[in-house]
Amino acid sequence: MPAPYKITVENAGEATCYENERVLVALERAQGFGRLKNLPRKLPVGCRRGGCGVCRARVLSGNYRTDPMSRAHVSEADEAVGLVLSCAIYALGDLSLRLEAPQPHKQTPNIT
């Protein structure tokens, strides 16, 4: 299947993802165009390089390839069941995703 691919975010909307583009970057663009209207909260964007873990997501269906991801956030067992950092995966076809709830220590503390 040739790119661009369709990324469906469960209960939120759709994004268009180009060849060799990080899925999170495609989601950021879609959010900018108002295509992810029903996200429960702002798209979690951190380092975009597989290190910080804020963009954890579960791939519900579709093929993809990955860059290295920090094992502090995605274990081998996680990876085997489709848990990924969305910044470190590249679509190889249409994908369906569920954004994972943030880990408790990743939530921004209330400082006001």
Partner 1 sequence: MALTGVLRPGFVQVRVLDMQAAIDHYTKRIGLHEVMTGEDGRVYLKSGDEFDHHSVILRKADHAGSDLMSFKVASEADLDSFEKRIVAYGYPVDHVPAGEQPGIGRRIGFTTASGHRFELYAHAEFSEPKPLIHNPDVWSVEPHGMGARRFDHALFYGPNVDENLDFFEKVLDFRCAERLDTPDGLLAIWLSCGMKAHDVAFVKHPEPSKTHHVSFELESWADVGHAADIITCYDISRDVGPTRHGITRGQTIYFFDPSGNRNEVFAGGYTYYPDSPTRTWDHTEIGKAIFYYERQLNEAFLSVVT
Question: Pick from 78, 77, 79, 84: which is nearest to 98 by CA?
Answer: 84
State the Cα–Cα distance between residues 76 and 40, nearest whole angstrom. Answer: 28
Structural tokens at position 40: 């429960």
* Per CB under 8 A, 29 contacts partner 1: no
State the Cα–Cα distance between residues 91 and 66, nearest whole angstrom. Answer: 9
Cβ-based nearer residue to partner 1, 3 or 45: 45
* Per CB under 8 A, 109 contacts partner 1: yes
* Per CB under 8 A, 65 contacts partner 1: no
First to last CA, the chain: 49
In angstroms, give the least distance from the CB of 109 to partner 1.
6
Mask of contacts with partner 1, 68-107, x by CB under 8 A?
xxxxxx-------------------------------xxx
Binding residues for partner 1, per CB under 8 A?
42, 45-52, 54, 67-73, 105-109, 111-112
